[in-house]
Structures are given as structure tokens and as C-alpha cells.
């Protein structure tokens, strides 16, 4: 009997030991699984930062003020009706006005140019960005804030950054040349009007390959044609292929060019080169 009791006791001890082993193993596995799960990277979804625009049967205007460092610009954005009805990215024109539209009345930037044409043409194919230069200032010292504004607008709206075009007339034509010389990487093509460019001492290679269509009045006495011709000839000497259209018998005011669909069609034949 004593032998039997000892045998039963030994069996019980063995069973308890085995059970304890497997319980501990299960516990350790659970802890390892928990640790593994907690250290796994979380998949996060970043919400869209794009601003939505309600559907519209006509163009939509947005007015705002952009501040960069110690500079401030009012600007107008004009969206075609079809922008509000689609989800694709759109080409954009950055328009730099002439000196007579400087100030604080933002609606002045719609007096002429793509900003005027966009509201007359129901099927216009571009978003238009039209900043206003403050009184007494010039586009020639606005390159930093203009590129920062382009970055900001491109992040907020559905802009095709490979189809951003730059144009301006008079003071805006000068600003167009300078901004393109300093930051050609932003643009697919440029169209300076009635400008007075300065031939740079050194050339940005991206400017050389940038499509350029300049316009000038034959009888312009404010910004003489000879300076535009010098810039075009200097570009040709660098291997560029710019176009210059001289408008016979016209003077400095050639903003009527912006009423010609041919310019906008030409823009759309060009995409940014990387």
C-alpha cells in the first residue's frame, strides 16, 4: 500500500510539473505576441490638405492675403466652373500686372490679362493666380514671395505643377523675365509682354530650355523694343529657341494679346521639363 501511495504521489507531481511548464509557455508566448504587436508600426492616413470648392455653373473667385517673411501680397484666384465639377489637377497661369494696377483694390487685377479673360470665357482651361503689387513697389524684388505663393497655392488646390505658366505685361513683363531667370524650375512656359529685360551675366540652363514667347509693340516708347530684341538674341546665342512677336504700329499698351486664344493654346502645348 505504501508503495502504491508513493507511486500515485510521484505521478501527481509529474502531472503538476508538466501543467506548470505548458501554462508558463503559453503565458510567455502571449507576452511576446503582445510586445510584438505594440512595437509594430501604425498605419496612419494623412487627411487631405486640399481646400474644396463647391460645385458651380460659373467661375469662382477666391481672394486672400499671403504673408512671407516681412512681405505681404493680396492675391486673386479664379477657378473655371469645370474645376469645381471635376477631381483632376488643372493648369495654372501666374499673371503679373503692370504698374498702373498696384495698390490695395484687388479687383484692379481683373482690368486686363488672363484674370479678365478667365471671367469672359466659360470654357477657360486654367486656374489664374493674380497677385497685386503694393503701391510704390515692383515685381523685381518679389521673387521669393512669389515662389512661396506658388508653393502655397499648389498645396491647397488641385494644381498641375507641370503645367504652371508665367506671364505679365510692362512692369509685370519685367517681373516675368526676372522670375523666370531666377526660378525657371517652376514653369512650363513664359510669355512676357511690353517688357524691358536685362540680359543676365550668367545663364541658368533651365531657362535656356524654357519655352518663351515674347510680345512687343513696334512703336513702344516706354519700354523700347531694342531691349527685348537684345534679350531674345542673347537667348538664341545660348541655344534657346524663344519666339518674339512684334506688333506693327502698336505702342506700349498691348494687353489685347491676352484676348487671343492662340496664346493659351500655346501654353498648353508645353509641360515643365525635369
Q: Which of 18-32, 133-147, 149-163, 192-206 has the lowest mean pLDDT?
A: 18-32
**Looking at residues 111-116, what average pLDDT do you find?**
98
At 11 the pLDDT is 53
At 6 the pLDDT is 53
**Looking at residues 119-145, what average pLDDT do you find?**
96
pLDDT at residue 245 is higher than 80: yes
pLDDT at residue 14 is higher than 80: no
Question: What percentage of the chain's residues is helix, strand, coil (to nearest 5)?
Answer: 45, 20, 35
At 234 the pLDDT is 97
At 50 the pLDDT is 82
**CA quadruple 91, 245, 131, 260: dihedral positive or negative?**
negative
pLDDT at residue 15 is higher than 60: no
**Looking at residues 200-206, what average pLDDT do you find?**
90
- Determine how many CB atoms are found less than 10 A away from the CB of residue 193: 31
Q: How much of the chain, in percent, has pLDDT values that exceed 90? A: 78
Where do we find the cell 497661369? 93
**Looking at residues 15-21, what average pLDDT do you find?**
47
pLDDT at residue 18 is higher than 70: no
Best CA proximity match to 244, nearest among 227, 261, 256, 260 = 227
pLDDT at residue 16 is higher than 70: no
At 274 the pLDDT is 83
> Per-residue b/e over 39-56, b at no fewer than 16 CB within 10 Å?
eeeeeeeeeeeeeeeeee
pTM: predicted TM-score of the whole model, two decimal places: 0.82
Q: How much of the chain, in percent, has pLDDT values that exceed 70? A: 82
Q: Using CB atoms within 10 A of its CB, is residue 92 exposed (0-12), middle (13-18) or buried (19+)?
A: buried
Gap between the Cα atoms of 34 and 15, Å rounded = 29
Strand order across the 159-169 sheet:
60-68, 71-79, 127-132, 90-96, 159-169, 189-193, 213-217, 243-247
Gap between the Cα atoms of 143 and 216, Å rounded = 23
**Helix, strand, or coil here: 110?**
helix
Q: What is the pLDDT of residues 57-70, one digit of tens each?
A: 999 999 999 999 98
Phi, psi of 72, deg, nearest 5? -140, 135
pLDDT-based confidence at 151, cuts 50/70/90? Answer: very high
Pairing type for strands 189-193 and 71-79 reads unpaired
Amino acid at each position: 500500500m505504501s508503495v502504491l501511495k508513493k507511486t500515485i504521489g510521484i505521478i501527481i507531481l509529474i502531472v503538476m510539473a508538466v501543467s506548470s511548464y505548458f501554462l508558463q509557455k503559453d503565458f510567455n508566448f502571449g507576452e511576446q505576441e503582445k510586445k510584438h504587436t505594440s512595437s509594430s508600426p501604425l498605419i496612419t492616413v494623412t487627411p487631405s490638405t486640399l481646400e474644396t470648392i463647391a460645385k458651380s455653373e460659373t467661375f469662382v473667385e477666391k481672394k486672400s492675403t499671403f504673408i512671407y517673411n516681412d512681405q505681404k501680397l493680396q492675391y486673386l484666384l479664379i477657378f473655371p466652373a469645370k474645376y469645381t465639377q471635376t477631381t483632376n489637377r488643372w493648369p495654372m497661369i501666374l499673371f503679373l500686372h503692370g504698374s498702373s494696377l498696384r495698390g490695395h483694390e484687388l479687383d484692379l487685377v481683373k482690368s486686363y490679362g488672363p484674370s479678365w479673360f478667365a471671367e469672359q470665357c466659360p470654357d477657360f482651361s486654367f486656374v489664374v493666380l493674380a497677385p497685386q503689387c503694393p503701391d510704390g513697389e515692383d515685381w523685381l524684388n518679389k521673387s521669393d514671395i512669389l515662389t512661396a505663393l506658388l508653393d502655397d497655392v499648389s498645396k491647397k488646390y488641385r494644381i498641375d505643377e507641370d503645367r504652371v505658366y508665367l506671364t505679365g505685361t510692362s512692369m509685370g513683363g519685367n517681373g516675368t523675365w526676372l522670375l523666370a531667370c531666377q526660378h525657371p524650375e517652376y514653369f512650363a512656359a513664359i510669355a512676357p509682354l511690353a517688357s524691358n529685360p536685362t540680359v543676365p551675366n550668367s545663364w541658368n540652363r533651365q531657362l535656356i530650355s524654357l519655352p518663351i514667347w515674347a510680345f512687343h509693340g513696334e512703336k513702344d516708347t516706354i519700354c523700347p523694343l531694342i531691349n527685348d530684341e537684345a534679350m531674345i538674341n542673347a537667348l538664341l546665342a545660348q541655344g534657346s529657341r524663344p519666339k518674339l512677336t512684334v506688333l506693327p504700329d502698336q505702342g506700349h499698351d498691348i494687353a489685347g494679346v491676352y484676348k487671343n486664344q492662340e496664346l493659351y493654346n500655346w501654353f498648353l502645348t508645353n509641360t515643365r521639363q525635369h
